[in-house]
């Protein structure tokens, strides 16, 4: 099966599965009801991200058979992604205590990291640095944070799907620009599955991704970053740049709320993208702006880093500077009425 045919198949499968999941959610009354901490105003089915999960996990073995990833990578991605999706799906249906979810997140991230061989050597200051056990531990924590921040950022129509598509497509292009291997089909597969789901989630959401889907996508992006860095060290920093919008908004919001003594797992509407959606009067402009930032600001900088024309850390600083300014301008983490 050609790569392009696989991508098209992923989009079609995800599109159809999302529709079936929406019908199932409506029949079982699995609805996300609006409250004072929501960004939506109508009861909406949730759990549609399971279509992304099923599509990606079903087609990963095809990529393995085609030689696009090793057996170890297949086991790592399958086990980690399946575990996170399962606990998220249970939480979508009922409630799993935050402490138990976090434990599962660490187990899943550790599983994926171990099967991928840990954090690969990093390119820093023109030299290759071995991360050691401290680097592997930091990578584990960052994977869990990536998983959870994606869930935090999945709060308005289309934003999580557009992020997955633009980052996945950008990462695939960078992989093909810098290596001769077929590994670029991995982020392309995730992007295609997310595109099938997005048709149901934007411009007005007819179903939400849910914790199972958002956690899966977040962890997959983190693990694919490590997989890409193993093929070309410069891709580590390129991926960090591509993920900048979500990383900056979620991290700045968390830090500001933590400084005010607020529970970090508590639902809220104080992300920069949420303030921006309320100020601009809709979800669409904000989600499209995230896609535009990814394609026209972050991807060019990531390309320079991947091609070795810009040092990685400098590229991250240049990319993140304006993002931090935007997040601060839109009051990321600022006190809401409920917090006062």
294 marked as binding residue: no
In 90-235, DSSP assigns E strands to 122-124, 127-129
Q: How far apart are CA 178 and CA 189, in angstroms?
A: 19
Q: How far apart are CA 148 and CA 121, in angstroms?
A: 25
Kindly report whether the peptide bond that precedes residue 120 is cis, defined as omega within 30 degrees of 0.
no
Question: Angle at CA 74, nearest 5°, toward 72 and 77?
Answer: 105
Question: Angle at CA 130, nearest 5°, toward 317 and 63?
Answer: 85
Backbone angles phi, psi at 124, to 5 degrees: -140, 120
**Containing H/E element for 45?**
strand 44-45
Check: CB of residue 334 under 8 Å from CB of residue 249.
Answer: no
Check: CB of residue 280 under 8 Å from CB of residue 286.
Answer: yes
Q: What is the dihedral of CA 32, 250, 319, 228, to 10 degrees?
A: -80
157 marked as binding residue: no
Alpha-carbon distance values, 115 to 78, 84, 110, 217, 224 (Å): 10, 16, 9, 18, 12
Check: CB of residue 141 under 8 Å from CB of residue 255.
Answer: no
Burial 96-110 (b: 16+ CB within 10 A, else e): beeeebbebbebbbb
Number of neighbours of residue 144 by Cβ within 10 angstroms: 21
Backbone angles phi, psi at 44, to 5 degrees: -135, 135
**Containing H/E element for 324?**
helix 312-329
Binding-site annotation, residues for Mg(2+): 151, 211
Binding-site annotation, residues: 151, 211
């Amino acid at each position: 099966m050609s790569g392009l045919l696989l991508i098209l198949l992923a989009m079609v499968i995800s599109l159809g599965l999302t529709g079936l999941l929406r019908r199932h959610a409506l029949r079982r009354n699995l609805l996300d009801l609006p409250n004072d901490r929501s960004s939506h105003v109508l009861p909406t089915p949730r759990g549609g991200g399971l279509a992304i999960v099923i599509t990606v996990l079903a087609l990963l073995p095809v990529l393995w058979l085609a030689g696009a990833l090793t057996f170890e990578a297949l086991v790592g991605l399958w086990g980690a992604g399946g575990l996170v999706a399962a606990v998220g799906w249970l939480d979508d249906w009922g409630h799993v205590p935050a402490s138990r979810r976090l434990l599962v997140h660490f187990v899943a991230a550790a599983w994926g990291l171990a099967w991928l061989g840990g954090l690969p050597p990093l390119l820093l200051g023109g030299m290759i640095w071995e991360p050691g056990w401290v680097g592997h531990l930091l990578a584990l924590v960052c994977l869990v944070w990536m998983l959870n921040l994606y869930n935090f950022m999945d709060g308005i129509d289309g934003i999580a799907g557009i992020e997955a598509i633009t980052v996945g497509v950008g990462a695939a292009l960078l992989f093909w620009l810098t290596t001769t291997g077929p590994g670029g089909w991995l982020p392309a597969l995730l992007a295609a599955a997310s595109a099938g789901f997005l048709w149901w989630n934007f411009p007005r959401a007819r179903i939400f991704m849910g914790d199972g889907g958002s956690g899966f996508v977040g962890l997959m992006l983190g693990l694919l970053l490590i997989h890409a860095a193993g093929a070309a060290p410069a891709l580590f920093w390129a991926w960090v740049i591509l993920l900048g919008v979500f990383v900056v908004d979620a991290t700045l919001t968390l830090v500001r709320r933590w400084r005010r003594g607020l529970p970090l797992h508590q639902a809220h509407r104080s992300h920069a993208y949420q303030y921006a959606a309320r100020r601009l009067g809709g979800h669409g402009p904000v989600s499209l702006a995230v896609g535009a930032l990814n394609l026209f600001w972050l991807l060019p900088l990531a390309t320079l880093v991947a091609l070795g024309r810009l040092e990685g850390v400098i590229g991250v600083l240049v990319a993140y500077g304006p993002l931090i300014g935007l997040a601060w301008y839109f009051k990321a983490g600022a006190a809401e009425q409920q917090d006062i």
